[in-house]
Structure 1
């Protein structure tokens, strides 16, 4: 006899739809590529669905699925080698006479941060998670979350002042 999952398929789908933007933003913050982020979100949804019986409190769905997503993103990071074909990048090199009135947006500045800093900033400021929740999602100590947030703020201040 099979045990009935605590979260129904319908509730699972509803929760995924409600959290799809947060999932994509989180994955994008870690992976820096829309395509990779979409793949990671898809893998996380499949893994979460397969293990939806493990979720004991449906109200904790968002941190639970973001934890799964973060793990999928980190798996993707470990699985790829950082190589860049220069012919792919040549169109993105800055123009010699860039418009000095152009300003970097905050999100653009966030995207320039390294993966660890970018992820905590996204979860804290864009998704509204507490330090404790981020600690649980990323599997790091609360002190590490605070340190990363502090470093990210300092780096963002510096980046935005340079602009």
Structure 2
């Protein structure tokens, strides 16, 4: 267990090593490239300021992803929209045309927030169930359940025509 505070160069090297994972995770939670970029940037700034709280430099990636997930969920809470019921009737109905088959990534992005983040972290970023549990702040059993439900939903989405 390495308990030294990361210097600027080491911190930057660690961030560069997990930048794709960070963006993919933020994108999975926020569903917007711009919002994901903002969240990643905020998470990096916060992590740098709090790098003395990292107890084990070997666990930088899960630590960083936890900070990022918190930033993403903060952004979700801030942007929760309200709907004016007078205009709700004017919104176009979603199309039920499934003639074009979804790609796997499109299907993953269409999952609800609770399923999308664990699926992305597990299958795209290679995190273990224990690491995902720490990153998302949920139990390992909840991670397993969400992965199972996510897989079932993906199967359903990809089988639709």
Relative to the length of structure 1, the TM-score reads 0.86
Corresponding residue for 2:5?
6
**Secondary structure in 2 matching 1:109:** helix
1:150 Cα deviation from its structure 2 partner: 0.7
The number of aligned residues is 152
Indicate conservation of the 8 Å contact 2:14/2:60, yes or no. Answer: yes
Are 1:157 and 2:155 an aligned pair? yes
The unaligned stretches of length 5 or more in structure 2 are none
Corresponding residue for 1:29?
28
Corresponding residue for 1:106?
104
Corresponding residue for 2:124?
126
Q: 2:146 aligns with which of 134, 145, 148?
A: 148
Corresponding residue for 2:69?
70
Corresponding residue for 2:40?
41
1:42 Cα deviation from its structure 2 partner: 0.4
1:57 Cα deviation from its structure 2 partner: 1.3
Could you say what the CA RMSD is over the residues aligned between the two structures, in angstroms?
Answer: 2.2
Relative to the length of structure 2, the TM-score reads 0.87
Moved segments of 4+, more than 3 Å: 83-86
**Secondary structure in 2 matching 1:153:** helix
Deviations for 1:87-127, whole angstroms, at most 9, x for unmatched residues? xx98xx76x9x794x42110000000001100000000000
**Secondary structure in 2 matching 1:129:** coil
